Amino acid sequence: MMTMTTNETPAIEVHQLVTHYGERMILKGIDMDVRPGEIMVIMGGSGSGKSTLLRHLLALERPTSGNIRLLGQDINACDGQQLYELRKKMGVAFQSGALFSSMTVGENIMLPLYEHTRLDRKTMEIMVRLKLEVVNLAGFEHLMPSELSGGMIKRAAMARAIIMDPKLLFCDEPSAGLDPVVASALDDLILRLRDAMGMSIVVVTHELESVFKIADRVTVLDRGEILFIGSVDELKRSDNERIQNLLHRRAEDESLDTDAYLERLTGEQVILNAGL
């Protein structure tokens, strides 16, 4: 079982993060942290910069200024080898799953083990079956990703993300586009990963239901700035008008179509995000 990193060093520390795409400023000085063993939910509408922030946290993009520490290490100061070592301690479940379509589910999940460890094939297969058990997909290892449903793809992606027992787990929209039962099962899974394995987990989502269920703390992004950081209770009690809009409009009407929802969230100014 995973031992927790020392409680003093945050799992993630973001300091004055600024980023531009060409002339446009996407993130305008973000400060946030994620404590070890907590679930931090990042919320925000389209164009709020949450996808960009996630790409920075994953070290897929370099910021204009500011820095990010993952597990105590400044990723801007890392060389290739250090980043490589760091990445073995991170798991990511992408929004689309991003399973490799030419490999079976089992091979997909096994890939990090195959690349980073020297375990023999039998052991790796056992570990894959174990993780599939965890995400409730036991027996599916021989299927191709194209044969899976949306919810199964997300769960398989989750299994791949946790195969190396990471200290840090990132989930991009884990329950978007899923029916409520499956979405809720995924939320349970995230909670279980925190409780059983002590992972620090960052979840990007705008599904309020799962925010209330899983979040230890919530970060709300709006137009590249942090609108709010705090617990779910504090979020509910917040008297900031934009947060209240975000919470109540959504709660009043569950069957909103996305476009109208986005328009209301961002006040007509729907900026299509590059990292969609």
Partner 1 sequence: MNTPATASNPIARLLERIGRSVVVGIEAVGFTCSMFAEAVWWLLVGWRRKQPVRIPAVFAEMMDIGILALPILGVLSATIGMMLAIQGIYQLRQFGAESQVVLGVAFSVVREFAPLITGILVAGRSGSALAARLATMKINQEVDALWVMGIMPVRFLVAPPLLAMVIMLPLLTFFSMVLGLLAAGFYISADLGMSLPAYFDQVREFLSNDDFMHGIGKSLLFAVAIAMIGVANGASVTGGAEGVGRVTTRSVVHAISAIVIIDMLFAFMATR
Site residues (vs partner 1, CB under 8 A): 58-60, 83-85, 87-88, 90, 92, 94-96, 98-101, 111-112, 115-116, 170
Rank residues 35 and 88 by Cβ distance to partner 1 and give the closer one. 88
Least Å from the CB of residue 81 to partner 1: 8
d(CA 130, CA 230): 35
Least Å from the CB of residue 272 to partner 1: 11
Least Å from the CB of residue 57 to partner 1: 10
Cβ burial of 72 (10 Å; 0-12, 13-18, 19+) is middle
Residue whose entry in the numeric block shows the structure tokens 């400044």: 74
Rank residues 60 and 256 by Cβ distance to partner 1 and give the closer one. 60
Contact between 95 and 130 (Cβ < 8 Å): no
Phi-psi map region of 95: left, alpha, beta (phi>0 left; psi -120 to 50 alpha): alpha
The per-type count for the chain, helices as H runs and strands as E runs, is 10, 10
Determine the residue type at 38.
Answer: E
Rank residues 55 and 249 by Cβ distance to partner 1 and give the closer one. 55
Residue whose entry in the numeric block shows the structure tokens 């990511």: 92
Rank residues 14 and 226 by Cβ distance to partner 1 and give the closer one. 14
Least Å from the CB of residue 232 to partner 1: 28
Residue whose entry in the numeric block shows the structure tokens 């190396």: 164
Residue (of 70, 89, 35, 9) closest to 219 by Cα position = 35
Least Å from the CB of residue 7 to partner 1: 26
Determine the residue type at 91.
Answer: G
Structure tokens at 133: 């058990």
Rank residues 173 and 222 by Cβ distance to partner 1 and give the closer one. 173
Phi-psi map region of 16: left, alpha, beta (phi>0 left; psi -120 to 50 alpha): left
Rank residues 49 and 97 by Cβ distance to partner 1 and give the closer one. 97
Least Å from the CB of residue 96 to partner 1: 5
Rank residues 68 and 235 by Cβ distance to partner 1 and give the closer one. 68
Contact between 238 and 246 (Cβ < 8 Å): no
Least Å from the CB of residue 21 to partner 1: 13
